[in-house]
Amino acid sequence: MSLITQIKDKVRWIYGAKLITFNYFHRYHHLAKAFDISVEASFLLPPNRILVRWIKPSSGYYKLNTDGAFSNLKAGYGGIIRDCRGNTILAFASPSVIRTACLAEILALKYGLNLCNTLGITNVGIELDAQTILHYISGKGSSNPLYFYIIREIKFLLSSFNLFYLILIEKAMRRQIF
């Protein structure tokens, strides 16, 4: 065992025993990375920001995160599909000529579900930040007639998966981290 490996092991052991904390790596986070120490990045963030972590899906699942936006007559949507280890399988983004943020969110979800279907992904967790869409899909809210056919397509796509779950990410939380 090399001297460098021995030193790394010793530092990781000391860190694991909580004899040193991430505060010791303040302004030296690159050094912590060299020792393969995962330190909390909260000390790197300005005081008005909070740290939010992406949570990996359970073993055997994939996760689809989608988002859409509309501002100043410009719109777009995108998303990412990751496996249970957090590896990116596919990412997508597209500008759009649509006129509402809700439609951008709906199109992002539909496109992401189509990609999952094409890739043969049948166990998928879906994260989005549009509560209205969850209501449209679950039937808990009255659907906008303009979105009826797209929501119907989304429900049809969801029925083709073995297992799926939908998670709402609060926009208030998102605003705090960006």
Domain boundaries, the chain: 3-44, 62-177
pLDDT tens digits, one per residue of 26-68: 666 677 777 767 655 544 555 555 555 677 888 889 999 998 8
Name the pairing type of β-strands 62-71 and 123-128: parallel
Amino acid at position 172, single letter: A
Q: Are 91 and 80 in contact (CB under 8 A)?
A: yes
Helix (H) or strand (E) holding 177: helix 171-177
Q: Which pTM value belongs to this model?
A: 0.66
Those residues whose C-beta lies under 8 Å from the C-beta of residue 175, and which sit 6 or more positions away, are none
Q: Are 86 and 56 in contact (CB under 8 A)?
A: yes
CATH topology of domain 62-177: Nucleotidyltransferase; domain 5 (3.30.420)
